[in-house]
Amino acid sequence: MATFNLLLLPGDGIGVETMVEVERIIDFFNRSGRATFNTQSDLVGGAAYDAHGVAITDAAMDKAQKADAVIFGSVGGPKWADVPYAVRPEAGLLRLRKDLGLFANLRPAICYPALADASSLKRELVEGLDIMIVRELTGGVYFCEPKEIVTLENGEKRAIDTQIYTTSEIERIAKAAFDLARKRGNKVHSAEKHNVMRTGVLWKEVVTEVHRSYAPDVQLEHILADNCAMQLVRNPKQFDVIVTDNLFGDVLSDEAAMATGSLGMLPSASLGAVDATTGKRKALYEPVHGSAPDIAGKGLANPIATIASFGMALRYSCDMGAEADLVDQAIAGVLAAGYRTGDIMQSGMKQVGTAEMGGAILDELKKLAG
Ligand code: IPM
Ligand code: MG
């Protein structure tokens, strides 16, 4: 039986509660004999800062490097608003992405039929929506140097962030997008701002070339990132795969997520390159939502995005596509049966907390798995 080593990093806020529900699902798969998951846990974000004065320790990074997959909860909260910039909770997540080389961030935006009315967009615009945003995750303006605030001679301050992209960085993310499109709707929109940014000019050039030489069978459209933002609320179903840089991907993926009804629903996968010798790739799975400090610790959080993130780990790190499908079906089934956490509550539905939602998904999973 296949064995996988998982590192669980629940982090802060609701990440702690939602990870408990993932552990119940992992236990189920272990007991049912479908695979052996060995789990370890560690601290990240504010929790790591409180214990060790850093957003993630070298020891935790070492575990992450060795794991088959990292399952991440969420980081941050008002408690750490004033900690030094270098050790703020988000720095833990950024270090994981950078040091593990997780350049490809897959953010599906799927509208579950049961939730089409929860979207701020009209039902007909979002019903059946299924988009995959492929965000470049280790380059661009979030990481490049110089990145600083300097004081000028006249006493004024000047802040600098730097956006750099190289051919190879764009090539590998474009290939990831074309590969995914082939398994879906076979269409890629590449979003950049070549009208004002040199990185946008190169982005467009390289994506065009990768398309020509690597994926002429896939339909490619170039779109300006601002137009993409507009089209996502005008007619989101025109999209299949959207590939874009780190900054635009951060923004567009939140927008696409909200179109589906709730940020609380959506998982993501961050993948590194495939190692030529082992055939494995580093990977981290996390919900798109944040730590939601306002409801943390109250048992109210929606665990679906974190559970679905584990589902993505089954698919992309464990080659357990059938089990990943089961997890997705269990979530859809529970929603169709009327279970709702507060963030997606609708009249006439059954409002439940984190543990009840997790339990309902587990029961459904047991039924489906037979
Ligand atoms: C995300 C988040 C992160 C990002 C933060 C927490 C650093 O917004 O994963 O989208 O900006 O990438
Ligand atoms: Mg974001």
Residue pLDDT, tens place only, 149-158? 999 999 999 9
Which residues, at least 6 apart from 336, have a Cβ–Cβ distance to it below 8 Å? Answer: 113, 114
Q: Which pLDDT score is estimated for 232? A: 97
Q: Which pLDDT score is estimated for 1? A: 80
- Confirm or reject: Cβ of 252 under 6 Å from ligand 1: no
* Mean predicted confidence (pLDDT) in 86-106: 98
Cα distances (angstroms) measured from residue 221 to each of 2, 137, 179, 251, 317: 40, 21, 16, 20, 30
Confidence of residue 367 (pLDDT cuts 50, 70, 90): very high
Q: Is 142 one of the annotated active-site residues of the chain? A: yes
Count of residues making up the chain: 370
DSSP strand pairing (219-224 vs 36-41) = unpaired
Closest CA to 287 of 140, 114, 75: 75
Q: Is 226 one of the annotated active-site residues of the chain? A: yes
Q: What value does the mean pLDDT of the chain take? A: 96
Which ligand 1 atom is the nearest neighbour of the CA of 89? 6
Q: What is the pLDDT of residues 16-74, one digit of tens each?
A: 999 999 999 999 999 999 999 999 999 999 999 999 999 999 999 999 999 999 999 99
DSSP strand pairing (267-274 vs 281-287) = antiparallel
- Confirm or reject: Cβ of 250 under 6 Å from ligand 1: yes
Compute the distance between CA of residue 133 and CA of residue 252 in angstroms, rounded to an integer: 8
Catalytic residue among 98, 193, 237, 325: 193
Compute the distance between CA of residue 285 and CA of residue 146 in angstroms, rounded to an integer: 29
Which residues, at least 6 apart from 21, have a Cβ–Cβ distance to it below 8 Å? Answer: 303, 306, 307, 354, 355, 357, 358, 361, 362
Contact between 319 and 68 under an 8 Å Cβ cutoff? The reply is no
Write b or e for each residue in 243-280: b if 16 or more Cβ atoms lie within 10 A of its Cβ, otherwise e: bbbbbbbbebbbbbbbbbbbbbbbbbbbbbeeeeeeee
Q: Which pLDDT score is estimated for 39? A: 98
Contact between 56 and 48 under an 8 Å Cβ cutoff? The reply is yes
Most ligand 1 atoms within 8 A of CB, residue of 14, 88, 90 to mutate: 90
361 pLDDT more than 80: yes
Q: Which pLDDT score is estimated for 142? A: 96
Confidence of residue 305 (pLDDT cuts 50, 70, 90): very high
Q: Which pLDDT score is estimated for 114? A: 84
Q: Which pLDDT score is estimated for 223? A: 99
- Confirm or reject: Cβ of 93 under 6 Å from ligand 1: yes
Q: Is 162 helix (H, G, I), strand (E, B) or coil?
A: strand
- Confirm or reject: Cβ of 90 under 6 Å from ligand 1: yes
Compute the distance between CA of residue 234 and CA of residue 161 in angstroms, rounded to an integer: 31
Q: What percent of the chain is modeled with pLDDT above 70?
A: 100
Contact between 300 and 283 under an 8 Å Cβ cutoff? The reply is no
Q: Which pLDDT score is estimated for 246? A: 98
Displacement of CA 183 from its chain's centroid (Å): 19
Which ligand 1 atom is the nearest neighbour of the CA of 93? 7
Please tell me what DSSP assigns to residue 85.
G
112 pLDDT more than 90: no
What Rg, from alpha-carbon coordinates, does the chain have?
Answer: 20
Q: Which pLDDT score is estimated for 332? A: 94
94 pLDDT more than 80: yes
Q: Which pLDDT score is estimated for 115? A: 87
262 pLDDT more than 80: no
Q: Which pLDDT score is estimated for 159? A: 98
Global pTM reads 0.94
Which ligand 1 atom is the nearest neighbour of the CA of 250? 10
Say which residue, 288 or 147, is predicted with more confidence: 147
Q: What is the pLDDT of residues 188-213, one digit of tens each?
A: 999 999 999 999 999 999 999 999 99
Confidence of residue 117 (pLDDT cuts 50, 70, 90): confident
Task: Give the least confident one: 40-49, 210-219, 255-264.
Answer: 255-264
Which residues, at least 6 apart from 176, have a Cβ–Cβ distance to it below 8 Å? Answer: 104, 134, 243, 271
Ligand nearest to the CA of 107: 1
* Mean predicted confidence (pLDDT) in 306-334: 96
